[in-house]
Amino acid sequence: MPPSSSAPRAAPSSPPSPSASRATPSAPGIVEDLGCWNDGNDFEGQGKPRTLVRIDKTNQTPQECAIKALAAGNTFMAMQNGEECYGGKATADYKKYGKSTAVNCPAKGDGWINHVYKIGQVPL
């Protein structure tokens, strides 16, 4: 007769639930609307330098800009002048010239005014 073991047996484990094994699907997008902020007016080297880096200057939606800006490694994106897409990595970047006092703050920005958004992965 084999010697008996005094160690307790582990209970059989149950399979993980289907929801526990699947990650929540997500996609790049807008996480938070940060409002309108003034930008520099550096036209041909005159005036104040821009606060964010231009990513694209084609007519696009804020969501399309968010995808491009996130792919470029940015944590913020902005739309300006109805079509221009900008990106930045630090809060100080877009806050450099202060919050815009313009009455209107369109989703796609305005002349020398960035409509800024925080970007990241958003659940689908």
Cα–Cα distance, 94 to 90 (Å, whole number): 8
**Phi, psi for 64 (deg, rounded to 5):** -65, -40
What's the whole-number mean pLDDT along residues 42-71?
A: 84
- Number of CB atoms found within 10 A of residue 42's CB: 13
pLDDT above 60 for 12: no
Cα–Cα distance, 39 to 52 (Å, whole number): 8
Whole-number pLDDT of residue 70: 95
User: Which tokens hold the place of 13?
Assistant: 């484990």
